[in-house]
């Protein structure tokens, strides 16, 4: 299963650095869609391979899937489309953190149940 996020471009976002912002928006909306507390999921890694420049007025959307579930981490795969073509391929890794101890915490059974339908 894929989660789709529509991105509304602003004129200032016509360079490759904007892809990180798009992925962040998709990541947060995906976690909220699953009713996971994104404030306890710390972003620890982000990587992209750029395929195509995005231009102002392009229709941009992102397909997000779960690539891997670790003990305390979630690796998301993001495919960013620009006017129907792949603009970038990316991954983000988030770690579930106990805010009291500031240490990684194992993903709960409930979290895994919510995320598993999106595993590739």
Note whether 96 and 41 are within 8 A (CB). yes
Q: Which of 45, 88, 43, 95 is nearest to 69 (CA)?
A: 95
Sorted by sequence, the CB contacts under 8 Å of residue 44 that are 6+ apart come out as 73, 93, 94, 95
Average pLDDT on 101-119 reads: 95
Average pLDDT on 13-29 reads: 81
Q: What is the pLDDT of residue 105?
A: 95
Q: What is the pLDDT of residue 11?
A: 54
Average pLDDT on 14-39 reads: 87
> What residues does each domain of the chain span?
3-118
Render pLDDT for 51-108 as a digit per residue (tens, 0 to 9).
Answer: 887 777 788 899 999 999 999 999 999 999 988 999 899 999 999 999 889 899 999 9
Q: What is the pLDDT of residue 80?
A: 92
Render pLDDT for 11-20 as a digit per residue (tens, 0 to 9).
Answer: 555 566 778 8
Determine whether domain 3-118 maps to CATH 3.40.50.300.
no
pTM for the whole structure: 0.87
Q: What is the pLDDT of residue 15?
A: 64
């Amino acid at each position: 299963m894929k989660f789709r996020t529509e991105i509304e471009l602003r004129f200032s976002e016509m360079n490759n650095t904007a892809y990180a912002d798009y992925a962040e928006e998709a990541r947060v909306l995906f976690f909220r869609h699953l009713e996971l507390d994104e404030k306890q999921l710390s972003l620890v890694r982000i990587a992209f391979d750029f395929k195509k420049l995005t231009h102002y007025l392009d229709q941009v959307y992102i397909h997000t899937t779960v690539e891997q579930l670790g003990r305390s981490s979630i690796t998301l795969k993001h495919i960013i489309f620009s006017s129907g073509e792949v603009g970038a391929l990316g991954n983000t890794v988030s770690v579930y953190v106990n805010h009291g101890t500031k240490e990684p915490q194992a993903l709960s059974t409930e979290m895994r149940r919510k995320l598993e339908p999106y595993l590739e």
